[in-house]
Amino acid sequence: MIVFDNVSKFYGDVLGVNRVDLHIPPGITSLVGPNGSGKTTLMNLMTGLVYPNSGVIQVRGISPFAPEKLMKILGYATQYDAGPRGATGFDFVYTGLLLHGFTKAEAQRRAWASIERVGLTGAAKRKVAGYSKGMRQRIRLAQAIAHDPEVLILDEPLNGLDPLVRAETIALFRDYGASGRHVVLSSHVLQEVDVFSDQVILIANGMIVAEGQIRSVREEIHEHPSQFLLHCRNASRVASMLFEEEHIAEVKMAPEGQGLLVLTKNREAFSMALERIALSGTDIDGVMPTDENVDALYEYLIGGGR
């Protein structure tokens, strides 16, 4: 388990995270929240890069105040781009392994293996400073997994990756998660991580707003009113038909005459209503959810619903 017990962190007067209580089991856990919500602070607290002002953190029974023990079982791919100045991709991974105490031969073997695993073998001898954003992500991932850690922490690991590499990277997370290890990653897009995460922790303004298995978080999303944009030619007729439905909370004209903005309390019922309207001969050109992103959920969860 990774345990946060009433942990708070402030940067001067600025709140990092506030009174966080978490028990993260093995498997893939995604920390999801908008920029500045405290995801990186949580990860830095777990890895001892910053220290809590109050509370206790344990990572598989080890305190982040003991890096000599913790870092043997933990790999952290940070969001920071820089590595040792002038280092090649291989050097970056290899020197990290030397610090773990591996022999030169073993460090070389492991470095090449992890670089191959992230698909960077061809660029391993190039300087990290010349890498693209996606390549830097991958080399950081290679460095984090090179010593085969039990706990893998990844800060926005899918940023800048092309679809193929993204799929390979997700497969790697799944491998790790399935083998009983901890994989904790962050993202600001819920849809990006909900397909492969075992559990999700939603964080906003330094506080945990929801946590649990992805299904229960999804249900929380579905329970709160959802907004859709309907593209239709006869907006007033569609609006009047929708007002007859019980689950409709609000209908209003979309800005710039794009159609209607509809707020519904029940997605399934809304879907069926649209089907009935279409069958009645009223054209609906398109339906688009406008609040599927995680910000809308925060607004709902933090604001107590609309």
Partner 1 sequence: MTPWQQIWTIARLELGRVFFSKRSFWVYLLAIFPSVIFTGHAIDATLKARQWSGRGEKITAEVMNKLQTGMTDQEVLRLAGKPVTDFERTRRPRRREEDPDAEKQPEVRRYMMYFDGKRRVDLRFEDGKLVGRNTRDLLNFEEDRKVYAGMFQFFYLRLGVFFGCLGIFINLFRGEMLDRSLHFWFLAPVKREVLLLGKYCAGLIAASLIFGGGALLSFLAMALPQDPAELQTFWQTNGVEHAVWYVAAAMLGCVGYGSVFLAAGLLLKNPIAPAIVMLLWESMNGFLPDVMQKLSVLHYLQSICPVPVPLPSDMPTVMKMLLAPAAPSSAAVAVGGLLGVTALVLFAATQAVRRLEINYSTEA
Interface with partner 1 (CB under 8 A): 11, 44, 47-51, 67-72, 76, 78, 80-86, 95-96, 98-101
What are the CA-CA distances from residue 160 to residues 127, 136, 165, 226 (Å)? 19, 9, 10, 29
How far apart are CB 72 and partner 1 at their closest, in Å? 5
The three-class DSSP label of residue 286 is: strand
How far apart are CB 169 and partner 1 at their closest, in Å? 20
Nearer to partner 1, 60 or 231 (CB): 60
Nearer to partner 1, 118 or 238 (CB): 118
DSSP code, position 119? T
How far apart are CB 147 and partner 1 at their closest, in Å? 8
How far apart are CB 92 and partner 1 at their closest, in Å? 8
Q: What is the DSSP string of 223-278?
A: HS-EEEEEEES-HHHHHHHHHTSTTEEEEEEPGGG--EEEEES-HHHHHHHHHHHH
Nearest Cα to Cα of residue 53 among 95, 89, 8: 8
Residues, the chain: 306
How far apart are CB 21 and partner 1 at their closest, in Å? 22
Nearer to partner 1, 98 or 229 (CB): 98
Nearest Cα to Cα of residue 299 among 220, 197, 228: 220
Nearer to partner 1, 25 or 84 (CB): 84
Instruction: Please measure the distance between the N-terminal and C-terminal CA atoms of the chain and give it in whole angstroms.
Output: 36
Nearer to partner 1, 44 or 197 (CB): 44
Nearer to partner 1, 99 or 302 (CB): 99
Angle between helices 133-145 and 163-178 (to 10 degrees): 20
* Strand partners of residue 27: 182
How far apart are CB 88 and partner 1 at their closest, in Å? 13
